[in-house]
Amino acid sequence: MEYHELTIEGAKKHLLEKKLSSVDLTSALLDRIEKFDDGIGAFITVDKQMALEEAENADKDIANNKFSTLTGVPIALKDLLCTKGIKTTCASKILDNFVPQYNGTVVQKLKESGAIIIGKTNLDEFAMGSSTENSAYKNTTNPWNKAYVPGGSSGGSAAAVSAQFCCAALGTDTGGSIRQPASHCGVVGLKPTYGRVSRFGLVSYASSLDQIGPITKDVKDAAVLLNVISGNDKMDSTSAKVDVPDFTKAMDQFEKGSLKGLTAGIPKEYLSVEGIDPEVEKVFNEAKLIFKDLGVQLKEISLPHTDYVVAAYYIIAPCEASSNLARFDGVKYGFRDTSSDDLIDMYKKTKSKGFGPEVQRRIIIGTYALSAGYYDAYYGRASQVRTLIMEDFSNAFKSCDFVLSPVAPAPAFKIGEKVDDPLTMYLTDIFTLSANMAGIPGISIPAGYASNGLPIGIQMMSNRFDEMSLLRAGYGFEKTIQLNKKFPNL
Ligand code: GLN
């Protein structure tokens, strides 16, 4: 087996048995990045020297039998997560020179468990987008076919895992940005329950929707990484005070009882969504049969407010974004325009030059929708719809353990195809937005391929804090369909 093919679990085994050093593994991945990332553009920053120093330290620990969950394992991070001493750009010009003074909680947790930070990955600017075409720096291509988008906004992280530049990565998901790129790149993506993972040190897009989660080569690795990053944090007042189970037990649950006794809800509204690709439908129907064979009972359910999800999300998210992004004013962080002579002009020029077109669009929409006289009609109304969406899911989970659905209405589209048509782009988020609106967890797992060879995933969503059911069902599905060993030839 080649080094780059190793999963987290595979790498750990080799490192523990001293068949491999972390320096060798990290160097092999850095060489692979150097060789292939020009054509993929998964990374914004790779700090070779820092990664190799961390790997050397990990090897010393291993030699002293000091072994933690991720000792010596290279992980990539979406460039929206603050990393002490490493540039954190959010793929924006406005943070072009921003080097955080501290690590975000998840980054700290990864470091404490021994992980090597191999690099910072590309994204849509401030995570606003579905294709990674809104990055101020470059496009990321889909490693399966470079004419296509990798999905977004965590397109760099998904492409990095798919291209086997790292053992695993972290992404963030505000409306699908972990699950959708994972689906388009043929890897596993898990958005945890809102509050499961601390957001401290994650640059906020829409604070009531954002969650950090793993993008991995297989389901077990998602469980391993979720174990490391979960837990209450006093630095994030929205982080939940709930126990963190050992998520890898979900694999044992499957081995013991298959998926017998579980019920999957199939939302009847989802398959009548306009523009759903027949190839996505086919993969979804095949997935249903696999679950049935594994002992899952399939049940039609209703999520009656599905039609309103996109509209409500695209009010709430820009409203929160317009408030969060007010802090980037040229005074406190990052880029400042120095050509102006007064403060107001400096604000204007800094923001106009520092933010890209999609970010500016959302700030304007959000500011408008929150302004006096419009608040009730837009933000207030959208929040009411959000409550109805939450209730749809609470009702659904009375009669099923998880909701099964496609991840996106179509496989990855061509670079440039939708970038000038924001509305069409927004509509592709129809199946993923609800989990964020309802605060529930969702997972995307490779399930098949389109006729052009691009991967297609399926999504499962479960009740709040029940990631265990997703991992159990996901693991069973993956074991049956066995797409977890399939990666693109670069
Ligand atoms: N595509 C959605 C948006 O642009 C979701 C992005 C995300 O999850 N960060 O808002």
The preferred substitution site among 325, 429, 444, 459 for testing ligand 1, maximizing ligand atoms within 8 Å of CB, is 429
Pocket of ligand 1 (CB under 6 A): 127-130, 153, 173-177, 205, 317, 429
Residue 324 pLDDT > 90, yes or no? yes
Question: 17, exposed or middle or buried, with CB in 10 Å at 0-12, 13-18, 19+?
Answer: exposed
Please state the rounded mean pLDDT for residues 57-74.
97
Q: Are 127 and 159 in contact (CB under 8 A)?
A: no
Domains by residue range for the chain, with CATH? 3-256+443-481 (3.90.1300.10)
**Is 153 tagged catalytic?**
yes
CA dihedral in degrees (12, 122, 174, 185; nearest 10)? -60
Structure tokens at 434: 């609800």
Name the amino acid, one letter, at 90: C
Please state the rounded mean pLDDT for residues 138-158.
98
Name the amino acid, one letter, at 37: D
Question: pLDDT confidence of 275, banded at 50, 70, 90?
Answer: confident
Write the CA distances from 355 to 88, 325, 366, 428, integer angstroms.
Answer: 15, 10, 15, 24
Strands annotated E in 346-454: 402-406, 442-449
Question: pLDDT confidence of 332, banded at 50, 70, 90?
Answer: confident
Q: What digits encode the pLDDT tens for the residues 345-375? A: 999 999 999 999 999 999 999 999 999 999 9
- State which ligand 1 atom lies nearest to the alpha carbon of 313: 10
Quick one: angle between helices 467-481 and 278-293, nearest 10?
A: 100
The per-residue pLDDT for 271 is 80
Residue 272 pLDDT > 90, yes or no? no
Residue nearest to atom 4 of ligand 1 (CA): 129
How many CB atoms neighbour CB 485 within 10 A? 9
**Rounded Cα gap, residues 131 and 140, in angstroms:** 8
Q: What digits encode the pLDDT tens for the residues 174-224? A: 999 999 999 999 999 999 999 999 999 999 999 999 999 999 999 999 999
